[in-house]
């Protein structure tokens, strides 16, 4: 999420021309940049929850980009929030409840 916010700022301020330039600079595909940038379509409270999730100190991240892509693909913030609650109920380890609980109903 932080990367998406940073990249969005670079494009908005004209530091880079477009997503294609971001891809070249980051040595990734344009498709990958688009995947990351799609996170900016998430409801603001979900974005904030992502930014404030506790760090993972062992094992795998409980949420993947693919998980978040499915939530971001939902057109309404209300629907995104419902999907987010369902996703985090299944995937979040103990300790992540605070950031998740702050997402609006």
For tokens 């294609």, the residue is: 20
Q: How far apart are CA 76 and CA 46, in angstroms?
A: 13
Please tell me which residue, 103 or 65, carries the higher pLDDT value.
Answer: 65
Confidence of residue 56 (pLDDT cuts 50, 70, 90): confident
pLDDT digits (tens, 9 = 90+) for 26-40: 999 999 999 999 999
pTM: 0.84
Arithmetic mean of pLDDT over the chain = 91
Q: How far apart are CA 97 and CA 89, in angstroms?
A: 9
Q: Which long-range contacts (CB under 8 A, 24 or more apart) does 46-49 make?
A: 46/71, 46/80, 46/81, 46/84, 46/103, 47/1, 47/5, 48/99, 48/102, 49/84, 49/99, 49/100, 49/102, 49/103
Q: What is the pLDDT of residue 75?
A: 97
């Amino acid at each position: 999420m932080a990367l998406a916010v940073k990249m969005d700022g670079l494009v908005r301020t004209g530091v880079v021309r477009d997503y294609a330039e971001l891809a070249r600079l980051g040595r990734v595909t344009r498709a990958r940049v688009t995947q990351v940038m799609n996170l900016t379509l998430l409801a603001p409270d979900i974005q904030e929850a992502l930014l404030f999730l506790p760090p993972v100190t062992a094992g795998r991240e409980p949420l993947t980009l693919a998980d978040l892509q499915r939530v971001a693909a939902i057109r309404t913030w209300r629907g995104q929030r419902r999907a987010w609650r369902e996703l985090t109920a299944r995937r979040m380890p103990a300790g992540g409840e605070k950031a998740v609980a702050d997402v609006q109903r």
